[in-house]
Amino acid sequence: MTERTSRQPASKQPNCDVVVVGAGFAGIYALWQARQRGLSVRGFESAPDVGGTWYWNAYPGARCDVPSYNYAYFFDSEIVRRWNWSDVCAYQGEIQRYLRHVAERCDVVKDIAFDTKVSSASYSEETALWTISTQSTETRPGEIVVCRYLVLAIGALSEPKVPDIDGASSFAGETYFTSKWPKDRAVDFTGKRVGVIGTGSSGVQVVPEIAKAARNVFVFQRTANYVIPTEGGPIDGAHMSALRQDPQAVRQALRETYGGNQPLGIGQHRFGELDAQGREDALRKAWDGKYPALAFRDAHLPEANAAISDYIRKKMQEIVADPRTAHHLTPWDHPYGGKRPCRSDVYLQTFNKPHVRLIPLTETPILEITPQGVVTSTETIELDVLVYATGFDAITGSVFAIDITGIGGASIRDAWRDGPRNYLGTMVHGFPNLFLPSSAMSPSVLSNMATLAEQQIDFILDSIVWLEEHGRPGLHPEPGSQERWREETLRYAARRPGALTTKSWYSGANIPGKPRVFMVYCGGFKKYHDNCLTELRDGFPSYALERRTDHKQEDKRQPR
Ligand code: NA7
Tens of each residue's pLDDT in the chain, 560 residues: 443 333 334 337 999 999 999 999 999 999 999 999 999 999 999 999 999 999 999 999 999 999 999 999 999 999 999 999 999 999 999 999 999 999 999 999 999 999 999 999 999 999 999 999 999 888 888 999 999 999 999 999 999 998 889 999 999 999 999 999 999 899 999 999 999 999 999 999 999 999 999 999 999 999 999 999 999 999 999 999 999 999 999 999 999 888 888 656 667 899 999 999 999 999 999 999 899 988 999 998 999 999 999 999 999 999 999 999 999 999 999 999 999 999 999 999 999 999 999 999 999 999 999 999 999 999 999 999 999 999 999 999 999 999 999 999 999 999 999 999 999 999 999 999 999 999 999 999 889 999 999 999 999 999 999 999 999 999 999 999 999 999 999 999 999 999 999 999 999 999 999 999 999 999 999 999 999 999 999 999 999 997 765 443 444 444 33
Nearest to 429, CA basis, from 484, 391, 467: 484
Nearest to 261, CA basis, from 64, 436, 106: 64
pTM of the model as a whole: 0.94
Whose C-alpha lies nearest to ligand 1, atom 23?
A: 391
Q: What pLDDT score was predicted for residue 6? A: 38
Q: What pLDDT score was predicted for residue 264? A: 60
Q: What pLDDT score was predicted for residue 548? A: 62
- Please indicate whether residue 200, judged by its CB atom, sits closer than 6 Å to ligand 1: yes
Radius of gyration of the chain (CA): 24
Nearest to 433, CA basis, from 25, 21, 19, 45: 19
Helices (H) and strands (E) in the chain, counts: 16, 21
- Please indicate whether residue 199, judged by its CB atom, sits closer than 6 Å to ligand 1: yes
CA of 390 to the centre of ligand 1 (A): 4
- Please indicate whether residue 333, judged by its CB atom, sits closer than 6 Å to ligand 1: no
CA of 111 to the centre of ligand 1 (A): 34
Q: Are strands 227-228 and 342-343 parallel, antiparallel or unpaired?
A: parallel
314 three-class SS: helix
- Please indicate whether residue 547, judged by its CB atom, sits closer than 6 Å to ligand 1: no
Give me the count of residues in the chain.
Answer: 560
369 three-class SS: strand
Q: Is 289 exposed, middle or buried (0-12, 13-18, 19+ CB in 10 A)?
A: middle
- Please indicate whether residue 391, judged by its CB atom, sits closer than 6 Å to ligand 1: yes
CA of 339 to the centre of ligand 1 (A): 10
CA of 415 to the centre of ligand 1 (A): 27
CA of 197 to the centre of ligand 1 (A): 8
Nearest to 353, CA basis, from 402, 308, 319: 319
- Please indicate whether residue 197, judged by its CB atom, sits closer than 6 Å to ligand 1: yes
- Please indicate whether residue 389, judged by its CB atom, sits closer than 6 Å to ligand 1: yes
- Please indicate whether residue 390, judged by its CB atom, sits closer than 6 Å to ligand 1: yes
DSSP 398-448: HHHTSEEE-GGG-BHHHHTTTS---BTTTB-TT-TTEE-TT-TTBSGGGS-
- Please indicate whether residue 510, judged by its CB atom, sits closer than 6 Å to ligand 1: yes
Q: Are residues 513 and 506 in contact, defined by beta-carbon separation less than 8 angstroms?
A: no
